[in-house]
Chains A and B, each alone.
Chain A
Amino acid sequence: MKEIMFAGIGGQGVILSASILARAGILKGYYAAQSQSYGSESRGTATRAEVVLSEEFVDFPHVEHADIFVVMAEMGVKLFASKVSQEAIVLYDNSVFELSENIGKERIGIPATRLAVDTFKKPLYANIIMLGAMMRHCGMVGPEEIKTVLKETVPSKALADNIKALELGSGLEY
């Protein structure tokens, strides 16, 4: 079983990333539960999305001790650090903020927003770049499953850019 938590600010697409990961997990034959918390305003407030992937039905559907924490805004670190395991891999967008907290076991900066702006001229795909980086560390789903889900999820004209963003994230050297 793996617990993965995504955090950011409403509008950054963290719930979409979590949903894509969970659906990819289903394609692999895993049980998946995905939930989220968000503010009434929907955009601009702290957002958390959680995925539990497991061989079988899991009683508790929330993340209590994240194995992987993907965080795209500093606000997310402050609010949700208590749900991150001491053994966790923390992937954070270091083009948005510098991680000062000593959370998890390994902390990896992914300049997702800068890469998205440089490549696509807009920050829109930063969440998929982060998803690509996450995929490498999760080990439970591969690019094929995620691409299949992307085909079902994103508008066809945006598919090529989404796949490019995924590969950008998974192919980063660090």
Chain B
Amino acid sequence: MGEIKFLQGNEACALGAMRAGLRFFGGYPITPSSEIAEQCARLLPCSGGRFIQMEDEIASIASIIGASLAGSKSMTATSGPGFSLMQEALGYGIMAEIPFVVVNVMRGGPSTGHPTGPSQGDIMQARWGTHGDHPVIALYPESVPETYYEIIRAFNLAERFRQPVIFLMDEILGKMNESVEIKDDISVFEREKIQSRDGRYRPYAMKDDIPLTANYGEGLRFHVTGLFHDETGFPDVSGENIQKNMDRMYRKIENNIEELQKWEESGADNPEILLVSAGTQARSAKMACQELNSRGISAAVFRPVTVWPFPEKRLSALAARSKKVLVVEMNKGQLADECRKFISDEKLIPVNQLNSEMISPDEIIRQVEGVL
């Protein structure tokens, strides 16, 4: 058994990132994420890394894009208002296929909203916040221990797929403290070193639909752009190239969906009542589920850990066997809207609350009793 530490969610995020090999953090502090920056400022200089407090969130994400291109595992952390500012450069990262991690500790919005209150209002912003069609990877843990291990997975996926990864947390998770077992056995993915070779270097030559771009500063010169580009890295906005690369970027995710997706199922097998919930809110749903099970009601919880790409196939199969599907979330029904694509309106019941409190187990039980 590993060492047991008592960590704050934000602290676990920073420590997990260090464990994954974080070498650069560029950020601008914002409640309720500031402790992530604070911890990185303390930890990085002691381990050969760099921490820079930038002038704003736009500069923050730009700085981690640069650091990642130079070969450093990079991260920034923010909350809703800062995440909004980062959207354009996030799109650049997706287009130029640069690995980095953006942490968004969700608070009440829009705008300044409620800095010290939790929310799950950025689920769809994580999916569609930046413009244009694009694939997205977003993870959302439920607890402090899971935060520690999922942030490591976030880095591994970013590096493996050469893709920014959005790491969602919420105010409750960021600010709460909890026991964490620090295990010795973790796996960390290291970016492949690209060596100089004969002929003209093609930074966007693909291997299984994933580009193997070299690190700046290691001898190879190449161009990086937010325009559609060909294998040389230089712009090519021909219709043929745009279609080809869009298809490939989506394929990069779709062909590896099993590696990317992760979810948890708990409660009854073949349940009549299926509760769908993510992040800390899912913990309330699980407690409600246990109480419902003890009262003889057949209920289960489906919790996506990888929120994007959404685990549609599995949830669709579970929902088909259930009488009612309650989607429990601290927003106006963002995951519920996604579920509407494959669950009928007669079956789907959104359970939403926006009062800066997690929806309690008692309230979830009341909602379930109302539909039985």
A binds B: yes
Are B116 and A38 in contact, with the CB atoms below 8 A? yes
Contact of B116 among A22, A23, A39, A59 (CB under 8 A): A39
> Which residues of B lie under 8 Å from residue A19 when comparing CB positions?
177
Residue of A nearest to B5 (CB): A26
Q: Is A35 an interface residue (CB 8 A)?
A: yes
Are A32 and B172 in contact, with the CB atoms below 8 A? no
Roughly how many angstroms separate A155 CA and B120 CA in the complex, as a whole number? 38
Roughly how many angstroms separate A19 CA and B178 CA in the complex, as a whole number? 10
Restricting to B163-221, which residues have a CB under 8 Å from any CB of A? 172, 175-179
> Which residues of B lie under 8 Å from residue A26 when comparing CB positions?
4, 6, 179
Known contacts A23-B6, A32-B6, A38-B116; A64 and B176 CB within 8 A of each other:
no
Q: Is A174 an interface residue (CB 8 A)?
A: no
Are B6 and A22 in contact, with the CB atoms below 8 A? yes
Residue of B nearest to A33 (CB): B178
Q: How far is the CB of B226 from chain A (nearest CB, A)?
A: 36
Q: Is A127 an interface residue (CB 8 A)?
A: no
Are B361 and A64 in contact, with the CB atoms below 8 A? yes
Roughly how many angstroms separate A85 CA and B116 CA in the complex, as a whole number? 26
Interface residues on A, range: 20 to 34
Q: Is B287 an interface residue (CB 8 A)?
A: yes
> Which residues of A lie under 8 Å from residue B172 when comparing CB positions?
35, 61
Q: Is B152 an interface residue (CB 8 A)?
A: no
Are B358 and A22 in contact, with the CB atoms below 8 A? no
Are A61 and B4 in contact, with the CB atoms below 8 A? no
Q: Is B367 an interface residue (CB 8 A)?
A: no
Are B175 and A36 in contact, with the CB atoms below 8 A? yes
Roughly how many angstroms separate A36 CA and B173 CA in the complex, as a whole number? 11
- Encoded as 1 (CB less than 8 Å from any B CB) or 0, chain A from 14 to 32 comes to 0000010011001000011
Q: Is B160 an interface residue (CB 8 A)?
A: no
Residue of A nearest to B142 (CB): A59
Contact of B287 among A31, A32, A40, A59 (CB under 8 A): A59
> Which residues of B lie under 8 Å from residue A32 when comparing CB positions?
6, 177-179
Are A34 and B177 in contact, with the CB atoms below 8 A? yes
Are A59 and B280 in contact, with the CB atoms below 8 A? no
Are B358 and A62 in contact, with the CB atoms below 8 A? yes
> Which residues of B lie under 8 Å from residue A22 when comparing CB positions?
6, 177
Q: Is B23 an interface residue (CB 8 A)?
A: no
Known contacts A39-B116, A40-B115; A60 and B178 CB within 8 A of each other:
no
Roughly how many angstroms separate A61 CA and B147 CA in the complex, as a whole number? 15
Are B116 and A61 in contact, with the CB atoms below 8 A? no
Are A35 and B177 in contact, with the CB atoms below 8 A? yes
Given A32-B177, A35-B177, A62-B284, 9 new contacts (CB under 8 A): A33-B177, A33-B179, A34-B177, A37-B117, A37-B356, A57-B179, A59-B283, A60-B287, A62-B358
A-B contacts, 14 of them at CB < 8 A, read A19-B177, A22-B177, A33-B178, A33-B179, A34-B176, A35-B177, A37-B356, A39-B116, A40-B115, A57-B179, A59-B284, A61-B176, A61-B283, A64-B361
Which 6 residue pairs are nearest across A and B when measured between Cβ atoms?
Answer: A35-B176, A60-B287, A34-B177, A59-B286, A59-B287, A33-B178
Interface residues of A (CB under 8 A from B): 19, 22-23, 26, 31-40, 57, 59-62, 64
Interface residues of B (CB under 8 A from A): 4, 6, 31, 114-117, 143, 172, 175-179, 280, 283-284, 286-287, 290, 356, 358, 360-362
